[in-house]
Amino acid sequence: KEMALSQIQCLDDSNVNPRIHESKPEFFYCEEQRLALEALLRDGREAFAKYLEARGLRGFLSDLEQETLTAALEPFDPDTELFSGEGEDEQEPLSLQYWPDVSDTSIPQMDLGWPDSESYRGVTRTTVYTQPPMEGQAHIKEVVRKMIAQAQKVIAVVMDVFTDVDIFRDLLDAGFKRKVSVYILLERTMLPHFLSMCQRANMHAGHLKHLRVRCTEGAEFYSRYCTRVKGQLGHRFMFIDGDKAVSGSYRLNYLIDAQEITSVLAISNFVTA
């Protein structure tokens, strides 16, 4: 996003981008780093190393980051991205035509409603939970499930990996039995695993009435050679009724409970807009 913003700002004749040294806290990236990234995506890791050496740049990408970027590289064509369906007969260039389905119609946002009350709800309270739990504390999964069970109006879940069928069943019950609006926002690349879990959850049509699921992704980097790299969703949190939330490194999957060390911050008595 910062790279794209700087390129847009360069179109303004009155804009001057200050040169900031990499030792300064304000430094985010420089044009030479962007060109080095282009070399990596176009010609591979050896070309990336040669570019760094030729420009006297410090290696700013780890081996893992280089592997992740090159593995996520995909071709990009704006025309096929927007208009994937083509008829058998030849048509006029798509960019010269009017497409109301693309330009005028958008996916409904929060169509199940969202709490709008901003009244005082008491002193904000925060509690840190860890996994494995500290002595006398509940497991994070227990905390999450109790919050879902106590929900009365709305539950919003933002998660990269969601495959815990127990928690998902709790969400389905909240929507179907108590008419609680449930929103789930997922990382795009993990959607197939979520759908596989849905098949194990014994869903029926009634569960869909108060449930909305969307997928998203992180920022995108577009190269000059019609390729791009899509980032991933990095947030994990859950809102309950506009006055409770839980956020942290905990994922909604079984492996987290069994093996990984995680923590969350639970907040209550506050207002979420």
Give the DSSP per-residue string, 258-273. Answer: HT--EEEEEEES----
Alpha-carbon span 144 to 150, nearest angstrom: 10
Question: Would you state the pLDDT for residue 88?
Answer: 47
- What is the chain's mean pLDDT, rounded? 83
pLDDT tens by residue, 17-43: 667 666 767 666 678 888 999 999 999
Cα-Cα-Cα-Cα dihedral of 176, 189, 234, 182, to 10°? -10
Tens of pLDDT, residues 151-188: 999 999 999 999 999 999 999 999 999 999 999 999 99
pLDDT reported for residue 271: 60
Predicted pLDDT of residue 266: 93
Q: Which domains does the chain have, with CATH numbers?
A: 2-74 (no CATH), 125-268 (3.30.870.10)
Q: How many CB atoms lie within 10 A of CB 60?
A: 14
Q: Which tokens is 65 given?
A: 């980051």
pLDDT tens for each residue of 229-243: 998 888 899 999 988
If one compares 100 and 104, the residue with the highest pLDDT of the two is 104
- B/e letters for 99-136, b = 16+ CB within 10 Å, e = fewer, are eeeeeeeeeeeeebebbeeeeeeeeeeeeebbbeeeee
- pLDDT score, position 123: 82
pLDDT tens string 67-95: 999 999 999 887 665 555 554 455 444 44
